[in-house]
Amino acid sequence: MYIIGLTGNIATGKSTVARILHDLGAEVIDADRLAHSVMEPGTEAWQAIRQTFGPEVIGPDGAVDRRRLGAIVFADPAALARLEAIVHPAVGRALAQRLEELRSRPQPPPVVVIEAIKLLESGLAGLCNAVWLVVAPREVQVERLVRTRGLSPEEAAVRIDAQPPAEAKLAQADVVIRNDGSLDYLRSQVEDAWRRMAR
């Protein structure tokens, strides 16, 4: 089972690349989705978040209010570090379990993609055979966050600036996908990298 770690900063287009890889035959594990599941009401992570950030980050339905929590942690690096210390280990455990499940299938998938924004920072890259990094110009990231998540340009900028710059990740990437053109251009880069990997 060959494992690709797919990463990139917020709104660079990782999910689009993951979908293309899925269409090419890869099994995709979305670490963000795992993070949602480990933060479900009543879980250990949910209790730690409530204790650390207060009941105001819990919505009326009992779930973590991600927008409210985001407003706190993206404006304060220390708060973000506290949140990551709660969520990363739980996601790591859930991911290890998922990989074990896939390996124990009678026919394990030949290629698994772990899509994770914090792949390099959380130590998940150690599980991967190769790291693929998706990059996009800052103005494209801002425009996407405004369009897809309903953030103001200022809120989008705060979220982008809260992350380590992509330049710091380039040295650790085996494949760099530039998402600054059309969908066809993006797909052709992904297909080229896939063919090289298959060889």
Q: Enter the pTM of the model.
A: 0.91
Mean pLDDT of the chain: 95
Output the pLDDT for position 186: 98
- Tally of CB atoms within 10 A around 44: 12
Q: Are the CB atoms for 9 and 119 separated by under 8 Å?
A: no
Tell me what the mean pLDDT of segment 99-122 comes to.
96
DSSP 8-class letter at 150: -
Output the pLDDT for position 123: 87
Confidence of residue 105 (pLDDT cuts 50, 70, 90): very high
Residues making up the chain, counted from first to last: 199
Q: What is the pLDDT of residues 135-166, one digit of tens each?
A: 999 999 999 999 999 999 999 999 999 888 99
Fold category of 2-198 in CATH: Rossmann fold (3.40.50)
Contacts of 126 (CB under 8 A, 6+ apart): none
Q: What is the pLDDT of residues 10-50, one digit of tens each?
A: 999 999 999 999 999 999 999 999 999 999 999 999 999 99
Output the pLDDT for position 168: 87
Question: Measured between alpha carbons, how far is residue 6 from residues 77, 153, 174 in Å?
Answer: 24, 26, 10
* Whether the predicted pLDDT of 199 surpasses 90: no
Q: Which of 175, 71, 162, 91 is nearest to 133 (CA)?
A: 175
Tell me what the mean pLDDT of segment 157-185 comes to.
94
* Whether the predicted pLDDT of 1 surpasses 90: yes
